Structure 1
Amino acid sequence: MAGEISFFELGVGDFEAARAFYGSLFGWTFEPGPTEGGGLTIGTPNVPGGVHGGDAGASPYLFFRVDDMKAALERVHELGGTVDDFDAGSDDESVARFGRFTLCHDDQGSPFGLHEPPKNT
């Protein structure tokens, strides 16, 4: 459903330390991410997630589901928001597995993400 939280990403200094911490705290499972050195995917009971290193102290990134990334990004601009020059998961393998992700800011500068899931989900 459009607008629901469909993915989250944790930015940390060391993703292996995050694996130990969040795995112990919540019982989450972790698998290697889609690219070498690109972090880990997180298995939770509800919303899938990811963790990447080199981003110590970052706030969690929340991604909201959209059905059409291009149309959603156009709408962000129309409403006075901005779109970061970022398109995670743009290679074919990542898109097929995880979908498309884009970071944005609303018209007041608050960050959020958009996620277009793979077409088979």
Structure 2
Amino acid sequence: MAATGDNRRIDYVEFNVSNIEACKAFYGRAFGWTFTDYGPEYCEFDDGRLKGGFTTLGNPRPGGPLVILYADDLEAALSSVEAAGGTIVKPITGFPGGRRFHFSDPDGYELAVWTKA
């Protein structure tokens, strides 16, 4: 598989929030972001350069959004994370449009890696 220009780069930022509508109102008003809803538990935002999401599926983490990297080969990325000393926090799971896993780095920061379906 040939690597894309996005392989193993930060691709998305996800905020665990308590109220998606309140976040949309705030970020839309404060920064002019636009939004695409994907059901009651998920909304994608677009700031004009970077996309990210608001979700109620996790616990809000004050001070830290979930940084998400993209990988052409998700299984190879998972193996690389483990080989480098990372800990898999959530195994590979599917979602509409792709699959992803979560890991923590040696300092305990949780990140995720995703790939298209």
CA distance in 2, matches of 1:23, 1:38: 18
Tell me which of 43, 67, 76 is aligned to 1:71. Answer: 76
Is the Cα contact below 8 Å between 2:15 and 2:60 reproduced in 1? no
Please identify which structure carries the higher helix content: 1
Aligned residue identity for 2:86: G
Cα deviation digits, residues 39-71 of structure 1 (max 9, x gap)? 211122122111013633442111112111001
User: 1:44 aligns to what?
Assistant: 47
Aligned residue identity for 1:8: V
CA distance in 2, matches of 1:27, 1:4: 25
Of the structure 1 ranges 53-62 and 107-116, higher mean CA displacement relative to structure 2 is found in 53-62
CA distance in 2, matches of 1:85, 1:63: 13
Q: What is the aligned residue count?
A: 110
CA distance in 1, matches of 2:60, 2:90: 21
- Unaligned regions of 5+ residues in structure 2, if any? 1-5
Question: Cα RMSD over matched residues?
Answer: 2.0
Please identify which structure carries the higher strand content: 2
Find the residue that maps to 1:84 and give its secondary structure. Answer: strand
Of the structure 1 ranges 74-83 and 50-59, higher mean CA displacement relative to structure 2 is found in 50-59
Find the residue that maps to 2:113 and give its secondary structure. Answer: strand
Find the residue that maps to 1:63 and give its secondary structure. Answer: strand
Percent of matched pairs sharing the same residue: 28
TM-score by length of 2: 0.80
- Unaligned regions of 5+ residues in structure 1, if any? none
Is the Cα contact below 8 Å between 2:15 and 2:54 reproduced in 1? yes
Aligned residue identity for 1:105: S
User: 1:20 aligns to what?
Assistant: 25
